[in-house]
Every structure is written in C-alpha cells, then in structure tokens.
Structure 1
Amino acid sequence: MRIKLIRFCQVIALTFTVAIGVGPIAKAKFAEINKNVIKNIVIEGTKRIDPATVRSYLLIHPGDTFDSERLDQSLKALYSTGLFADITMYRDSINMVIKVVENPVINRVAFEGNKRIDDEELKREIQLRPRLVYSRTQVQQDVQSIIKTYQRSGYYAVNVEPKIIQQDQNRVDLIFEINDGELTRVRTINFLGNRAFTDTALRGVITTKEYAFYKFFTFDDTYNTDRLSYDRELLRRFYLKNGYADFRVLSVVAEFAPDSKSFVITFTVEEGCIYTFGSSDFEIFLPQVDSKALRKFVLTKEGQTYDADLIDDTIYAFNNYLGTLGYAFVDLSPKVNTDVKKRIIYITYRIGKARKVFIERINIRGNVRTLDRIIRREISFVEGDAFSINQMVISEQRIRNLGFFKSVDVKNTEGSRPDRIVVNVDVEEKSTGEISFGIGFSTAESIIGDVAIRERNLLGRGQDLLFKVTTSNVATEFDIAFTQPYLFNRDIAAGFNIFRTAREKKESSYDEFRFGGMLHSYYTLQPYLTQQIRYRLEQIEIKEVDENTSRYIKAQEGTRIVSQFGQTLTYDKRDNRLDPRDGYITQITNEVAGAGGDERFFRTSVKAGYYYPLDDVWGLSLLINSGLIVGIGEEVSILERFFVGASSFRGFARGGIGPRDSVSKDALGANNYYVGSIELSFPNGMPKDLGMRTFIFTDFGSVWGVDESDSKIADESSIRATVGLGLSFATALGTIRVDVAEVLAKEDFDVPEVFRLSFGTQF
C-alpha cells in the first residue's frame, strides 16, 4: 500500500513538472505561427487599375501563411497580364505589400521608313492599338509579325526597330522604324538525287524561279516558304505522273547569302524506280451497277506507265457516271497492290454502298449584288427533285454563262437524312459594268475611236443596258440597247436596240446615214441550244454622192426603208462565253427582208468555233465565218452586203477586202464571204495575276461577188491571208489588246491595216 502511494506521488510530481516546462514552449510556438500568417495585403502604386484587379490575380489571401512558391506564382500571374512594367513583393511585419508600376497606355502607333508596304496593311498585322496598355512582350510579337509580312513579299533583309516616345499622363507613342531592305531573290536552285530528269526540267516544274535581269513584272524569283511547300507537292505530282510511285522529297534547304542578298535553294529527292500498271479489278457493293458499265471509264490500262492522275481521273469519271444514276456520296476508293520485284501496280476500284438521294435544299451564297432569283432561275432542278450530277454540271455552266461572277462553284453536302442532300451554290461577284475605249490605226484611214458604257447586271436583276458611241474622222455611231431576261418569269429574254449612224465621204465617195431600231427575243430550246428571233426597221439614206462615183452607188442615192425579220440558232458548249478555252460553238443565222419597206433579200450566215486547251497555259482556237445574200427580184443594196476587215479579218481595214470600184476606190461590199482564223495562245513568262496573254494568229478567207458585172468593178474570189502577233493584258484601264499583222496574200485593190489597239475598263 505504501509502495502504491509513493508511485502515485511520483506520477503527480512528474506531471506537474512537465506541465510547468511545456507551457512556455507552447506559448512561444503559437506566437511564431501567428507571425507567419498574412494579416493584410497592401496594394501600392496603382493609378488606373483598381487594386481589386491586382488581388484577383494573387494566389495568396489574408489568413494564409507566407509561402514563397505561391508568392512566385502570383508574381508571374501579374506579369502575364501585361499591365505592369515592374512588380515588387515584400513582407512588412504581418502584412504583405505588393508595389506595382503600371505600364503606360499607347497614345498612337506609327510606322516610319516603310516604302514597300503601306501603313494600313501593317496595322492589320499587329495587335497593339491606341488606348491599349503598352506591353514589351506584345511589341516584340508585333515586330515579328511585321518581319513576317515583309518576308511573305520577298523582303528578308528588312529591319524593324520599335521606339517609345514618352508623353504626359503615363502615355507613350509607339513608333516602328522600318528599313525595307532590298528584295531578296532566289539566285540558284539545285537538285540532288535526280537521275531521270535534269535540273533544268525540274526547274520548269516548280513555281519558284531563279532570278533573271529581264524579269521586270514577276515575283516568282523571290524566296517564299509557302511557295516552296507548294513546289514540294508539284515535284511529287510530277514524278507520280511519270511512273515513280516511291518518289520522295527528302529535304528543301534554303541558304541565305548575305553578301549577295539572295537565296540558294537545294531540293534533295529520292526518285525510286519506275512502275507500270497491272490489271484493274472491281469491288462493287451497289445494285444495278456492274463492272462492264464501269470498265469503259477506266484509264489505267495494263502495261501503261504508272500515272497517279489517271487514277484520280478514273475515280472522277466513276463519280460522274454514278451521279447520272442518282447516287451521291458514293464511297469510291482505289486499293493499290504493289509488286516491288516486278515493279507493277495493281488497282482495285472499290465502289461502296450508297442510296439514291433527293435534293433537300438549295443554298445561294456569296451573291452580294445579284438577286437570289436571278441565280435560281438558271438552276435546272428544284427542292425535292432526284439528284442528278448532269443537271448540276449544266446548272453550274448556265450560272457561269451569265458573266456576272468571277467564280462559280456548285457542290453538294449531306442533308438531314441519308437520302437527302443540300446543294450549295457559291459565287463570287465581279464587275459587270464596263467603260470601254477603242482606238484603231489603218494605213488608209488614220485613227478611229469608240467609247461604250454597258451594265450587264443592272441593279442585280440580270438586265443588260448598253450605250455606245463610235467616232472618227469619217463616222459617228450611236447605239442604245436593253435586254430583259426571263420576261414574265419565263425562260424568254426580250429587248430592243435604237441606233444611228452617220458616215461621211472621207472613206468613200458618198455620205451614209442610218437610223432605226430592233426588237429581239431569245429562249432556250434544250440544254446548250438557244434561238433568237428579231425584227429590224431601219431608214437608210445615201447622199452627197460625188460626180465620179460609180453608177451603182448613184443608182442607190436617196432614202430607203428596210423591214427585216431574222432568227439565229446557237449551240454553245464552250466552258466560258467571255473567255473560252475549251468546247465549241455553232451558229446559223437567217434573215429576210420584204414584209414592207423597200428592200427584198434573203441573207444567211454560218459561224463555228472550236477551242482546245493544250495544257494549263497553251490553247488553240479555230474559227470559221461564212455568209451569202441573195436579192429577191432585185439587186442587193450596197449597204446590206458583207463588209469584212478590222477585227473580223485582222490585217485589213474595215471593208478592206472584196469588190471595189476601181475608179472611186469605194468598197462595194460583197454577196459572199468566208473567213477562217487559227489562233495559238502561249505563255509569256509573266505572272498570271497580270492577266497577260500572247498569241499568234493567221486569218484567211475571201469576199467576193456582186449582182452587177462591170469592168470598173475590181472583184476577185482569190484567197487572202494574214499572219500576226497579238498581246492582251489587264490594266487599270481594263483589257488592252494589240494586234500586229502582216499580209501574206492580197489583191492590189485591197486595203491593209498593219496595227490595231483596243482597251477598256470595268466599274
């Protein structure tokens, strides 16, 4: 018992001793912890910025302990805002003090020294603007944006220095001082690894060219990284087209030579081996489609050199054929099996499952000026119709033939259900108003000029309005014309012409005066085939006849009325009516006069044209025009005969060939004519953006025959021929065309025209 009592007392004593020792230690520890807790966060230095904005970026708050890691993260968060030029954080007893220096506000942004790129374009490339907070980081990013803008234009030696001008109220002016430097050219293009094709041949494939002193208007000899990426693809396509299925571009290295301020570009390629096509097979999962029907579209013939383009063209042909059957979104894919040892590529064409589809909706997009209904009426299908690829192609061509749009793209996308499609018609408007000027020079005449104002899409309604004046030292002509397409909402166009011509005797031995009008209408008979019918009522007067004029002209002195009906059938399958490169056109015109009036005649003419693209830039065109006129119970009036020359027969003046009075030298016109033309357009080394075309041509034909027979009439049916060189290009004034012709065959009484210049503009 005594022992237990002693132990109890020892425990009590020990507990008391520990309690006495631990109390001060615990109190000290609590004080230390309290000292590390942030009581307040004090923000100093803010002027424009609310202190609460500063606090919102902090990762520490009152009541938190001081933590160096979170303080560092808070500092980075504040700097990342770009609002502050300097930030200081320090501890003041139990408070956290954050002292900031605000970045100034940009007063204005300016550019100095830039000559190649204007201020407006540079402003679009940078992010900093007046009234934004100045940021050194953003300034450096904007400097790089300006440099990249210059590099895209070929100026790799550009230097950009940002300058700051301090203003009051913590504002600054930001000035970018720019030294454009010289245009950086490509001095040399090398190829490594090529064996099948020479460096010269491969340089002709790519778009980047070597610098040459005579390239004044081209920029394809400047260094451009985007162009080099495209050149890699062009090389790949070129080799794949020529049988090299394993071809690779290993690298493209551009080395800048500071001394010459130019680049040396080296393409390293791996050609591989040349392959041929093996047999072709099919995997068909569509009902009512068999391999026999598809076989005729296969362009990859066994034993033929491998050409990747032929595979794509075959797939395209399959897609068009299946579209005629009402199938859209067919899964068409070629499966390639390569026999490396034999160097043969076998193609299996897989035609996946699909179903016939119907048109759910037609969207017209991109037409800013032209009304929707003007475009829709050219589309040969409506919502709910079965899908047909042929109708899509025809509709796209009809919209393009309007001549209102720079580009037309008709595509189909999936609809709300698997058997529905949406047709999107995307167009890009172009100028349809024209102000044109023309000038011609003749060895017999001198200068002839004309001016015309035309709007082919009046108020976006598709209406055509023309006002034309032609004047020279011999004639003045006025012409006003208007055409309303889709009259009464039907596929019938109608319009009228009012014209007046006064021609003085400076080019003949009499004065000619014509005044009249014409009503016309045209409509579509079937795709590509149209018919025009018209009626012309005209008063013609021949007066002031010279004494030495031939008796044939004297006999027709006075006033006559012409009442004439006519029709024209046109079959037009050209790819573009304004600038055709592919397709053909045939046209037959018949006219008869005699229903009232003083003239009785029948006139017919035939015109045909064929256009064939030899490649992307070379093109060939063949044109032929012919006609005859026959009097009905009387002789044909001189003014109703055919007068050929100028633009209709380059190398001769208007009426420069054909029957002529040998005494007065008057052109008498002819009852018969034919004129042919062969024209070859070819590249000229100028960039496509200039729209410059060069061509050589030869015109040939004959104009002959009058009702009268007299020794004083010079009339020969012999063939005439000219050859010449032409140039056309787009300028601020519009398209300028120059024709220079040399006569190869003519008669002594013919009148040549050596040179002709014409130009016009659009608004």
Structure 2
Amino acid sequence: MRETASAGITRKGKFRGFVRPTLVAILLSSAMVSEPFLTLAQAQTYSFTNVAVEGNARVDAATILKYAGIARGQSLAAGQLNDAYQRIFASGLFETVDLVPQGSTLLIKVKELPMLNVVDFQGNKLVKDEKLTELVKSKSRLVYNPAQAEADAAQIAEAYRVQGRLAATVDPKIIRRSDNRVDLVFEITEGKVVENEGISFVGNRAFSDRRLKQVLQTKQAGFLRQLIKADTFVPERLEVDKQMLRDFYLSRGYIDVQVVDATGQLSRERDATFVTYTVKEGQSWKIGNVSTVSEVEGVDAAEFAAVQKMRSGVTYSPSIIENNIARMENLALRKGLNFVSVEPRLVRNERNQTLDVEYVIKRGDKVFVERIDIEGNTTTLDQVVRRQFRTVEGDPFNPREIRQAAERIRALGFFTDAKVDAKPGSNPDEVVVNVDVEEKPTGSLSLGASFGTQSGLGLNVGFSETNFLGRGQAFSVNIATASDTKDSGISFVEPALLGRDLKLKFGLTYNETNNASALYDTRSIAFTTGLEFPIAEQSRLELRFKAFQDTISNVTSTAPLLIAEDARGSETGSGLGYIYTFDNRVTGLNPKSSLLFRFGQDFVGLGGDAKFVETTALAVAETKVFNEDVTLRAIFEGGAVNSFGGYDTRVTDRYFGNGKIRGFDTNGIGPRDASGDALGGNFYATVKLEAEFPLGLPEEYGITGGVFADMGSVWGLDNPGAVDDSAHLRAAVGVSVLWTTPIGPLRFNFSNAVKKESYDEEQSFDLTIATKF
C-alpha cells in the first residue's frame, strides 16, 4: 500500500497547504506597502537606497532582483511595487513573497517552494504508473509548483475521459519531508466507464432511428457492453458522427440536410449518457439536365462530355459529381492541359425537385506543389503514404486530387486518423501539402478452438499483419487442425510493386483429409503467385501461376472409380490463369445498390500430369429497400473443370459443393458410388436469394434476421460408369439469425431441403461466419 497523504491540494484548485497563507501574505504585504505609500504617491515618488533579500536558499539574490526589476535609487510608486511583487511571485519559484519597507531599505522576504522528492500515483488500476509518468510534467528533483500539479491532475483526468470514464477524479496531494522537500501523490478514483444508454434522433422522417444508428461511430450499450468499446461515450465522436450523418443524407440526394446538434447528457449518477442528434432532412433531389461547356480556348467540350457518366433521373450525390470531375480532369492531364479545372454549376428546379448540372471547363490558378510533408508515422514508412498521391513535388496543385489522396490514405486501414491540408509555400505560387497521421495496431495473433458437427474439435493458430514492417505489405500464417482435416497456409502481398498500383501475391497451402468423412484420404500442396493491376476505374485483372501436387490414398471403398484414381498415386500440375474483377461497392453511383463480378480461368497443363481448364464465376448483386432497413441479395456462383489430352479428373480436381447450398451436409450432394461415397463433380452452379431485415430488437444487440432460398447442383464425371452424374436440381429454404459479435459476425442457418435426391445428405442447422461481399 502506498502512504496516504496528510495535507495538500484539492482537484478544484484550492491549495490548502499553500494558497491560503499566500493570499494572507499578499493582503498583509499589500497593506504594509500601500498604506504608507499610496498617500505618499499622490504627492511624490519614493526611492530605496538599498534592496535586501531574505529567505532564499536555492535562488540567488541577483535572480530575485532581476524578477523584481527594482534598481537602487529608482523612483517608485505604490503600483510599481505591486508590479514587482507580481513578477517575483509569477516566477513559480516561491511559496510566499513579502515586500517589507524598512526606511530607505526595501526587504524582499521569500519562502521558496519545496523540491519534489517523489511523484507517486494511487488508486490507478487501468492505467499503469509508467503511462501516467509520461503524462505529467511534475518530476522528481524539480521545484514543486502547485499550478503545474493541478495541470497534471487535469491531464490524468483527460486520459481517463478519452476511455469513457467521465466520473474519474484526480486529487494531487503533498506529504512534507525534511529539508524543504515534498512527495507529490495523485490520488485517483477511476470510476466506471460511461456508456451510451440511449441514442435518439429528432427530425428524421425518411430514415428510421435504426438505419441512422448504423451510420454512426457512436454505438449504444447492449448486453455485451463489457466487450464492445464503441458504446463508450467519447465526446469527440459527436462531431465525427454529425459529419457522417450529413454525408449519408447528401449521398442520397438530401442537399439541404442539416445536422443541427449532437448532444450527450450525463445521467445524474454520471455513469451513463443519452445522446441525441437533431436533423433537418429537407427533400431528396434527382439529377436533371447534364451539360458541359468550355471557357478555355481550343478545348472541345464535347470531348470532355463523352467521359462523364451521369444521366438524368438518378439521385443526386456529391460522389457522382466528384467522380465525373475527376474523369474530366484526368483527360485534361492526358492531353497535356495543365491548370485546367472543372467546376460544377448546379441549378435548382423547385417544381420537379431536380438539379441541372453544368460542368464548366476553365483555367485554374498556376500553383505548384513545393513539397509533401508527412508526420505522425512512427512505424509506417513515408513511401507508403506518399504513393497514395498522384501528385509529386513540382506538379500542378489540384485540390481535388489532394482530397482524394486523403481518402486513399484513410482507406489503407493503418491509421485511426489522417489529416491532409495545403498551406502556403515559400513562394506565392507554391503550396506545401501537410499529412498528419495517427497510427493504430495492424497486426493480430489468434489462438483458438472450434467445434463442427462434421470436423469435430479443432485447434487453430494464426498471425496476420496488414502493414508488415511498416511497408504496407500483408503477411499471414494460419494453421488449423481438426479430427479429420489439417489446413495451413502462408500468404504475402506487396500492394505497390515498383511504386505502382501493381499487387504482387504469393501463397503456399497444405491440406490433408482423412477418411472420417470419406472412404479415402487426400493430401494437397499448392503454390500460387500472381500480379494484379487496374484496367478500369472499377475493374482489376490478376494474372497468376500455380503449381500443385495431389495425392489420394487409403481407399477403403470397393468403388472402381476411386480404386482407379488411387492407383494413379501422386499427381502434379501447373498452369497459368487470370481473374477479372468488377466491383462498384466503393465507387458506384448508387449508395443503395452494389455489384460484384468475378470471372477467372486456369489453364493447367504446362507441366506435370494434370491437364484441364478450370473456369469459375461469381456475381453478387445487392440493394437496400424500405428506407434501407431491408437488404436484398442475389448470388450466382459456378465452376467447370474441362479435362483434355486424355486426362481424367480425380476427386482432388472436382467440386463438392461444400457450403454452396444450405440445407445439405458437407459432401452432401453430387455423384456417389455404390457405397455412398461422394465423388464430386466437374461442374457446379448455385443461385442464392436472401433478405436481411431487423427483428425489432435493440440495434445495439447486433441481432438481425434473414430468409433465404438456395438452389443448384453438382454434376459431371469424365468416366461415370454406373454412377449417376446427372445435373439433378437441389433446393432448400430457410431462416437465418445474424449476430454481430466482438469475435466476428455469426450466422445461424435453419434449413429445410425441398428438392433433393434419395442419396443426398441433409443438414438442418449450421453455424458459419457471415460473409461480407
């Protein structure tokens, strides 16, 4: 236990040990000085022939006289003596100061502040002494300053406040020691975390409270309040929330929206807050007529109009305008037209709630980028931040490009905050771009266990780092084992090869299965590498190479197909492939809808035994309806393995539809041999239709509902023999419960197979990690 302080300072700034005697001293000295001299000063000035100092031990007399500013023989009035007193006391070196006139001598009597012997903290559990020591400026072997102790107490209280502990109190107290020394003790009462017990909105008509809560950084406390930190009240979040609400409405056409206020009121017990946001929505506007004009001689407006992608009738959004301006300005740069800017001019049509948009091509100011300064990055290398800029030193300054660079920096996920602004440079036609970032942890280490109805008890360990060595690289290692499977993998991604938007990828995987779930064992080892690059604003292409070795062993079935595949032993393969991706989830024009499309092919046969072409496709369309409270989603997924050169596919090459159609077990659909063992198929196709909606529970619980209908099939063998490998349709319907937890989004599916074959294996319930497309 630490020693309890006996006398000192209260948190409210009343110094029981020092201030009251000092105030008395001030009054006494003022009386002693002013009474003889005020009357005298009305008629004449006064001067001392001698100034003496008394009571000083550490501070020499010359220093005190310098603070006083009084010279021998100097003519003084009473007000000047008071100024001298104030200067000495303001030095922060003395506990008391008295000015005592003694005839022609002025005696300056001081009592020095004590030295700090020990600075200690009591009552702190959540914040360690080492952290608090860094926060305070009062240090051992320095002069004790009551004002600084109060400031340090406020700094400690602020550290607790940002953690949501608004009820925390900090009392600085002193313990007197010998030789004019004191121990300074900060007595801390940490208090409880102040959580948001309620979040409400005033003035919202178009969107429900539930929908608007999803936009906010601030969350409402639920029954997982001990794990969820987003429901801790942090006043600074309110301003961020106001901007996020405004951006949400603007992106949906509400150009007159105002977030009037965001207030957090403490409960009487100071252990909870109630946050209220006041909104004036206005009306939603749509795009009317769109036109482009040029005010620059020799620039054809029609050429610029051809690259913009805005049409009449769509809901207005600032991002639509920004995207089109960026396309036009990029065209100007490609044509070598520097200092050309595009200005949008909007005209309201009140009658039909539309906005006519006119893009005006004009000459901009000739301003250059002098330099780009980056601060706050202790781990992340400067080059990781700098490559988010399309502008370098010496280029023409484009404010829109700087704003877009700021968004790209924030999208990296390496920083809690990133501020980018431009300030005047050393010349009138130059600016300095300042980047101020605040880093956050980017690595994770996971140790855990899992249990599955098919895989049994499993253990897994993983490490991932999205900003490896501060270079912006992604590196991960995962090892997972279960009763009948072993999976492990290593991956590495360099996101900016040669400083360009070119991703270099490496991956190595190892997979083992035993015959607990099938009457054979498999082992697969694969290596992949690839390059990914953009080919359009919303499209990317990946070129890749892969090599693998597959082994089938321990076949216990009497099925001829499996015996024949096992007899071939280990087989190797290698090939080249590509993946095309279109994704408008971030840059799409409609914030309510999105589309993701992937199409890829691998041509295996460059070397080794395997010879086939594998084609895969995925399409996901999503939209929000009923004021965005309900999400509708349609998913198509398919694949095909076409062998050539006399090669017959094996179970390690084929699809099994695992998890593709809910309502069926692992390896539950597709061709089977006479013993019931799954053989997989060369082809599969599935269609999933699903809806997610609120259940009426408090939003902070993170629980929503869903319904789904899945259909599809797995089929096709190279040499089926007596096996039925036809494309029989399977279908299932069901309901889901989705729960957003601190460990990840969980999905509970309750299914019923409505279309099946007699040999299919069903599964009425499964628990999965919810997939975010």
What's the TM-score, normalizing by structure 1?
0.70
The root-mean-square deviation of aligned C-alpha atoms, in Å, is 5.9
Q: 1:297 to 1:132 in 2, by over 3 A?
A: farther
Q: What is the correspondence of 1:64-463 to structure 2 with a 5 Å cutoff?
A: 64-65=74-75, 67-114=77-124, 119=129, 122-123=132-133, 126-147=136-157, 150=160, 153-181=163-191, 226=236, 249=260, 258=268, 286-287=296-297, 288=299, 314=321, 317-318=324-325, 321-322=328-329, 324-326=331-333, 330=341, 353-354=363-364, 435=445, 441-453=451-463, 459=469
Partners of 1:616 and 1:647 in 2: how far apart? 28
Can you list the C-alpha shifts for 1:635-658, whole angstroms capped at 9, x where unaligned?
623234423355655665543332
Residue aligning to 2:750 = 742
Partners of 1:198 and 1:501 in 2: how far apart? 48
Partner AA of 2:730 in structure 1: I
Secondary structure of the residue aligned to 1:555 is: helix
Which of these residues, 65, 73, 91, is aligned with residue 63 of structure 1? Answer: 73
Partner AA of 2:642 in structure 1: V
Q: 1:398 to 1:652 in 2, by over 3 A?
A: farther
Tell me, yes or no, if structure 1 residue 660 matches structure 2 residue 672: yes
Secondary structure of the residue aligned to 1:658 is: coil
Per-residue deviation, 1:166: 0.8
Partner AA of 1:630 in structure 2: N
Contact residue 97 and residue 111 of structure 2 kept, 8 A: yes
Partner AA of 1:61 in structure 2: A
Q: 1:432 to 1:650 in 2, by over 3 A?
A: farther
Tell me, yes or no, if structure 1 residue 587 matches structure 2 residue 592: no
Secondary structure of the residue aligned to 2:96 is: strand
Residue aligning to 2:715 = 704
Contact residue 501 and residue 534 of structure 2 kept, 8 A: no
Contact residue 508 and residue 528 of structure 2 kept, 8 A: no
Q: What is the correspondence of 1:8-23 to structure 2 with a 5 Å cutoff?
A: none
Partners of 2:713 and 2:657 in 1: how far apart? 11
Residue aligning to 1:3 = none
Tell me, yes or no, if structure 1 residue 567 matches structure 2 residue 567: no
Percent of paired sites with the same residue: 26
Per-residue deviation, 1:43: 0.6
Q: 1:45 to 1:164 in 2, by over 3 A?
A: same
Q: 1:509 to 1:292 in 2, by over 3 A?
A: closer
Partners of 1:537 and 1:178 in 2: how far apart? 61
Tell me, yes or no, if structure 1 residue 534 matches structure 2 residue 545: yes
Per-residue deviation, 1:99: 0.9
Q: 1:387 to 1:719 in 2, by over 3 A?
A: farther
Residue aligning to 1:556 = 565
Which moves more between the two structures, 172-181 or 706-715? 706-715
Per-residue deviation, 1:568: 1.5
Partners of 2:288 and 2:671 in 1: how far apart? 65
Partners of 1:449 and 1:561 in 2: how far apart? 29
Residue aligning to 2:651 = 639
Partners of 1:195 and 1:627 in 2: how far apart? 46
Q: 1:697 to 1:141 in 2, by over 3 A?
A: same
Q: 1:535 to 1:155 in 2, by over 3 A?
A: closer
Can you list the C-alpha shifts for 1:314-338, whole angstroms capped at 9, x where unaligned?
4775466345424669595879999
Which moves more between the two structures, 447-456 or 347-356? 347-356
Partners of 2:480 and 2:751 in 1: how far apart? 27
Contact residue 455 and residue 485 of structure 2 kept, 8 A: no
Unaligned runs of 5+ in 1: 1-32
Q: Determine which structure has more spread, i.e. the larger CA radius of gyration.
A: 1
Secondary structure of the residue aligned to 1:55 is: helix
Contact residue 360 and residue 383 of structure 1 kept, 8 A: yes
Residue aligning to 1:674 = 685
Which moves more between the two structures, 345-354 or 597-606? 345-354
Secondary structure of the residue aligned to 1:660 is: coil
Per-residue deviation, 1:104: 1.1
Residue aligning to 2:636 = 624
Per-residue deviation, 1:466: 5.8
Partners of 1:81 and 1:484 in 2: how far apart? 57
Partners of 1:355 and 1:168 in 2: how far apart? 70
Partner AA of 2:543 in structure 1: Q
Partners of 1:602 and 1:344 in 2: how far apart? 51
Partner AA of 1:549 in structure 2: T
Can you list the C-alpha shifts for 1:59-81, whole angstroms capped at 9, x where unaligned?
42211245322211111222222
Tell me, yes or no, if structure 1 residue 604 matches structure 2 residue 615: yes
Per-residue deviation, 1:380: 7.0
Secondary structure of the residue aligned to 1:325 is: helix
Which moves more between the two structures, 392-401 or 75-84? 392-401
Residue aligning to 2:48 = 38
Unaligned runs of 5+ in 2: 1-42, 588-592
Per-residue deviation, 1:88: 1.8
Can you list the C-alpha shifts for 1:500-538, whole angstroms capped at 9, x where unaligned?
554332222223344x56464436484544342425253
Contact residue 46 and residue 77 of structure 2 kept, 8 A: no
Contact residue 630 and residue 636 of structure 1 kept, 8 A: no
Which moves more between the two structures, 256-265 or 650-659? 256-265
Partners of 2:430 and 2:658 in 1: how far apart? 55
Secondary structure of the residue aligned to 2:519 is: coil
Which of these residues, 44, 50, 53, is aligned with residue 60 of structure 2? Answer: 50
Partners of 2:507 and 2:322 in 1: how far apart? 49
Partners of 1:612 and 1:751 in 2: how far apart? 33
Which of these residues, 514, 523, 537, is aligned with residue 504 of structure 1? Answer: 514
Contact residue 117 and residue 140 of structure 2 kept, 8 A: yes
Contact residue 116 and residue 181 of structure 2 kept, 8 A: yes
Residue aligning to 1:718 = 729
Contact residue 164 and residue 233 of structure 2 kept, 8 A: yes
Q: 1:130 to 1:164 in 2, by over 3 A?
A: same
Partner AA of 2:641 in structure 1: I
Q: 1:721 to 1:402 in 2, by over 3 A?
A: farther
